[in-house]
Amino acid sequence: MIWASGWRLASAVANAGGLGLIGAGSMYPEVLREHIQKCKQATDRSFGVNVPMLYPQIDEIMRIIVEEKVSYVFTSAGNPKTWTSFLKENGITVVHVVSSVRFALKAQQAGVDAVVAEGFEAGGHNGREETTTMTLIPAVREKLSIPLIAAGGIATGSAMLAAMALGADGVQVGSRFVASAEASSHQAFKQKVVEAGEGDTRLTLKELAPVRLIKNKFYEDVEDAYARCATPEQLKELLGRARAKKGMFEGDLDEGELEIGQVSALIHNILPAAQIVANMMEEFRVAREKVSEFSI
Amino acid sequence: MIWASGWRLASAVANAGGLGLIGAGSMYPEVLREHIQKCKQATDRSFGVNVPMLYPQIDEIMRIIVEEKVSYVFTSAGNPKTWTSFLKENGITVVHVVSSVRFALKAQQAGVDAVVAEGFEAGGHNGREETTTMTLIPAVREKLSIPLIAAGGIATGSAMLAAMALGADGVQVGSRFVASAEASSHQAFKQKVVEAGEGDTRLTLKELAPVRLIKNKFYEDVEDAYARCATPEQLKELLGRARAKKGMFEGDLDEGELEIGQVSALIHNILPAAQIVANMMEEFRVAREKVSEFSI
C-alpha cells in the first residue's frame, strides 16, 4: 500500500468503520508525522501505521509513532522481536504481517497482539513459499492462538466470508483500496488497476524480494533478463531505485513498478473508501445468507 | 489424480455420497475398462471418469466410456469442443476442467454441463496464469452461467464452505483423497503427502506443462537445470518418461514426480475415503455455524 495509503485513505476507512492504516513505507519520517497529524484531524476513530522494518530511518519512524500516540502498528519485512516490546510498552497494539506458519509463530512468540497472514495472490512484496490464502489461513489457524487476519485476494464481502470460513478473525484489504477515491496513488495507476484482468499480475524478482506487480514494459524487461539468465546483481541493477514511486505515484505505467494483487481482476471501478466498506459488509451478509441455504 | 484414483477410490467416494472419479490419465484403454467394470460392481451409485484429452488413445478411451455407460466425464488438457457433443449425444454429463475465466467460457460455449475451475495451489498439472482459487472462483462466477465446481486447496469442510462463499456450487477434492486407504498410490507416496508441510510443494516446469509437485531430488535436479539456464529441450530430456508413475505408483520418492497440492500441508493422516467425506461434511456444518455467529 505504499504510495496509496496516506491520511486521506486511512481516515476515510476509519470513519467508515474499518481500521485505516497509513503506509509508512513510502514516507520520510517527517512526512509520516504530517500524515498522522492530518489523520487525527480527519477522524475521531482509531487508526494505525504500517511499518516495513527494513526502513533505513526506522528508529525515527518508531519514535514519531509513539510521540503521536498512534493506537495500532502493523509491522512487516523484518524480525518482530526488534520492536514489539518497545511498541507495547508504549501502549500500542502490534500486528505483524507474515506469509508462513513459521513466521506467524515467531511473531506470536515475540509478543504481538495479532498476525496478518498474506497469501501468494497478494500484491506487492510477498513470501517465498508461494502459499495461497486458501491454504495459508487454515494452516496458520491450526497453530496460532492469537487473532488471525487474512490478506491476499480479498476485495469483496464474499471473499471476506471465505477467509473467515477458513479460520480468520478478520481481513486486511489492500488492492481494493488502491482503486479508491482517497488513495494517493496516481490516477493513471488506479485506472490501470481497474482495467487489469485475469493473469495480468505476476510474482517476480524472487531472487531479490518477491513482488507481485502488473505485467508492463518494466516486467517484460525483467522477463528478458531472466531469459538471458541474469544474475541477482544484474536484476538489482535493472530494478534500480524508486521504480515503485515512478509507477504508482508518478503514473509511469511503462517504466514503473505497479504493485497490485491478483484480485485486481475483480476490481471494476474507483469508489470512495466508505462505499467500498459498505459494499463489502453488504456482500458479506448476502454471501452468508446464500451459504446458509445450502442443504448440507 | 493419476496413479491414485482407480475403481477402489472412485467406488468408495460414490458409496460415501460423493461423485467418485476414475482417473483415466494413467490407464491403457483396456485397464480403464476393467476399472469401470469393477467400479460398477462395487457401487450402485453414479461415478465418472476424468480424461486428459491429450491422451494418445483418446478415441478408444471415449468409445469404452460410452460402451460401459459411464454417467459423468470430466475432460481436461485439451479443447472441450472436440468431445463434448459426442459425449452428450451418448447421454453423458460433461464437465471440463480449466484454470482461467477465458477457458471456462470456451467450455461453456462448447456445451459442457459444468466447469471445474482449479486454482494455482492445486496439485499436478496446472494453468499458466497462476490464479489462485480465492481469485479464480469469483472471477469465473462473474462470467459463467452454468454450474461451477471449485478445485485447488480444498481438503476440509471449511475450505468447501469458503469455496461456496466465493460462488462455487460444489468442490472437487484431489489431494485429500490421495492420502486415503483406497487410493492406488504407493504407500510411501501417501506417507510423503501426510508428512509434507508448508512450502514443500512447488509449481515448476512451466516451459513444458506447469506441474505442482513435492520438492525432492528430482525437483532439485530441475532447479539445477534452471540455474544453468536450461532450454525447454533440456528440461524435457531431464523429465524423461514415466516420472509420475515412478514417484506416485512405484514409490520412488527421489527420482519420481510427486504431484500433490499445497493443501498437503493440511493433510495429517491416511483415512478411508468414507471417513474423509464424512469429516468434510461435518467440518462444513461447524464452519457454517461459526460464521453465522459473527455479528456483522
A182-204 per-position pLDDT tens digit: 999 999 999 999 999 999 999 99
| Confidence band, pLDDT 50/70/90 cuts, at residue B296 | confident
Residues of chain B contacting residue A128, judged by C-beta atoms under 8 Å apart: 199
Mean pLDDT value of segment A129-138 = 98
From B101, B162, B229, residue closest to A134, measured CB to CB? B162
Q: What is the pLDDT of residues B108-153, one digit of tens each?
A: 999 999 999 999 999 999 999 999 999 999 999 999 999 999 999 9
Q: What percent of chain A has pLDDT over 90?
A: 96
Contacts of A78 (CB under 8 A, 6+ apart): A52, A53, A54
| Confidence band, pLDDT 50/70/90 cuts, at residue B14 | very high
Name the residue of chain B whose CA is nearest to A289's CA: B292
Using the structure block, give the residue that is written with the C-alpha cell 534452471.
Answer: B226
Residues of chain A contacting residue B153, judged by C-beta atoms under 8 Å apart: 132, 134-135
pLDDT score, position B281: 98
Contacts of B180 (CB under 8 A, 6+ apart): B9, B12, B270, B271, B272, B273, B276
B44 burial level (CB within 10 Å; 0-12, 13-18, 19+) = exposed
Query: In this structure, are strands A72-76 and A93-98 parallel, antiparallel, or unpaired?
Result: parallel
- Residue B76: phi and psi, rounded to 5, are -155, 170
Instruction: Name all domains of chain A by residue range, CATH numbers in brackets.
Output: 7-184+264-292 (3.20.20.70), 196-262 (no CATH)
Mean pLDDT value of segment B16-21 = 98
Say how many C-beta atoms besides its own lie within 10 A of residue A288's C-beta: 21
Q: Cβ contact (<8 Å) for B166 and A152?
A: no
Using the Cβ of B104 and the Cβ atoms of chain A, whether some distance falls under 8 Å is answered with no
Which of A106, A121, A134 has the most B C-beta neighbours within 10 Å, making it the best mutation to test the interface with B?
A: A134
pLDDT score, position B33: 98
Per-residue pLDDT for B289 more than 90?
Answer: yes
Strands (DSSP E) found in chain B? 21-23, 48-52, 72-76, 93-98, 114-118, 124-125, 148-151, 170-172, 201-204, 211-214
Q: How many CB pairs under 8 A join A and B?
A: 152
To the nearest whole Å, the CA of A55 is away from the closest chain B CA by 27
Question: In chain B, positions 13-42, which contact chain A (CB-CB < 8 Å)?
Answer: none
Mean pLDDT value of segment A109-122 = 98
To the nearest whole Å, the CA of A131 is away from the closest chain B CA by 7
Mean pLDDT value of segment A29-37 = 98
Using the Cβ of B45 and the Cβ atoms of chain A, whether some distance falls under 8 Å is answered with no
* ipTM associated with this complex: 0.96
Using the structure block, give the residue that is written with the C-alpha cell 484531524.
Answer: A41
d(CA B134, CA A168): 14
Q: Cβ contact (<8 Å) for B132 and A133?
A: yes
pLDDT score, position A56: 86
pLDDT score, position A295: 84
d(CA A193, CA B43): 51
Q: What is the pLDDT of residues B196-228, one digit of tens each?
A: 999 999 999 998 999 999 999 999 999 999 988
- Residues facing residue B254 across a β-bridge: none
Per-residue pLDDT for B295 more than 90?
Answer: no
Which of A99, A132, A295 has the most B C-beta neighbours within 10 Å, making it the best mutation to test the interface with B?
A: A132
Phi-psi domain of B219 (left: phi exceeds 0; alpha: psi -120 through 50; beta: other): alpha
Using the structure block, give the residue that is written with the C-alpha cell 536484476.
Answer: A235
pLDDT score, position A55: 85
The CA-to-CA distance between both ends of chain A, in Å, stands at 40
Per-residue pLDDT for A296 more than 90?
Answer: no
Q: What percent of chain A has pLDDT over 70?
A: 100
**Cell triple for residue A3?**
504510495
Q: What is the pLDDT of residues A44-85, one digit of tens each?
A: 999 999 999 998 899 999 999 999 999 999 999 999 999 999
Using the Cβ of A241 and the Cβ atoms of chain B, whether some distance falls under 8 Å is answered with no
Residue type, position A247, single letter: G
B273-292 vs B7-15: helix axis angle to the nearest 10?
40
CA B213 to chain centre: 13
Question: In chain A, positions 110-169, which contact chain B (CB-CB < 8 Å)?
Answer: 119-121, 128-135, 138-139, 142, 152-154, 156, 158-159, 161-167
Q: pTM for the full model?
A: 0.97
Residues of chain A contacting residue B235, judged by C-beta atoms under 8 Å apart: none
